[in-house]
Amino acid sequence: MTTPETATSPSSATADATSPATGPGRLGSLGPVGLVLAGGISVQFGGALAVTLMPRAGALGVVALRLLVAAVVLLLVCRPRLRGHSRTDWGTVVVFGITMAAMNGLFYQAVARIPLGPAVTLEVLGPLALSVFASRRAINVVWAALALGGVFLLGGGGFSGLDPTGAAFALGAGVMWAAYIVFSARTGRRFPQADGLALAMAVGAVLFLPLGIAESGTKLLDPVTLGLGAAVALLSSVLPYTLELLALRRLPASTFAILMSLEPAIAATAGFLILDQALSAAEAAAIALVVAASMGAVRTQVGGGRKKRAALESTGLEG
């Protein structure tokens, strides 16, 4: 079995990263579910940190710093090859970059207007919808419905009291999140390691930097702002996107999308620890629902994989 470090073609890029190699291969040894959970923890704590940075740099400025620093780090670490890629490869990377920029921009516009918890709650509806439409197994509809109930419970049973513009931005971010899942998987299949992610991040940074400069100007050059922006980039972009890209090479998009329903629960924890936002009884119940849905999705995926392997073994087709 090849690892992401040694993969040189789209087919080899999908291989299991389970050997004790360095870099992404070692991360891959966590398993796809572990990669998704680690990425979720990182991105939500990074999001809480970003909320504290917005008064200094503005929503668009924070996004610009996040994408720019993440692009620089990934390009330096990955040093992706620019030659040898088809038009389809480049098209996938460009769309992936646009999707990341739009997802981040819309989400930070949302949290500038509505609280972090409801914003993440509305945003996660995108991946949940994807899980229903992309899944070929009827049981995943049940897990999606259970997670959806938790999502609305976490939002207080409704969103009528939220700023409508902020809610619209959060829903738009959810649509882009679903698109991100699709194009992250396609990019991971077409590029080795995290090369495609690095190139896509550069595309997003180039597109968003003018917007950040227009809103924040020289505030982006403040040393404290730059330092906090770099921390947000590492926590919210570099680490989670790399982990998710590796996970999507071995995890179906439908199961990955349901696992994303854990994001409101992780966001609530990050909000409590960093932003001093306490959990209510309803929020705790919502967390229990989304955790149950995610556990059910993982159990279904593992059980399906075992049945498939058993069927292959019985017919002598495995290996």
| Cβ–Cβ under 8 Å, residues 237 and 205 | no
Q: What angle do CA 306, 307, 313 make, to 5 degrees?
A: 90
Work out the number of other CB atoms within 10 angstroms of the CB of residue 73: 18
Residues 17 and 24: beta-carbon distance below 8 Å: yes
Name the residue ranges covered by the structural domains of the chain. 33-304
Residuewise pLDDT in 10s, the chain (319 residues):
222 332 333 333 333 333 333 344 444 445 788 888 888 888 888 888 888 888 888 889 999 998 998 899 889 988 888 888 888 889 999 999 999 999 999 999 998 888 777 788 788 778 777 767 766 677 777 877 887 787 777 666 666 667 888 888 999 999 998 898 888 888 888 887 778 888 999 999 999 999 999 988 888 888 888 888 889 888 987 888 778 777 877 777 667 767 776 777 788 778 777 777 676 777 777 777 877 777 677 667 655 555 555 554 454 444 4
Q: How far apart are CA 249 and CA 263, in angstroms?
A: 20
CA–CA dist 19, 198 (Å, integer): 23
Sign of CA dihedral 142, 144, 145, 151: positive
pTM: 0.72
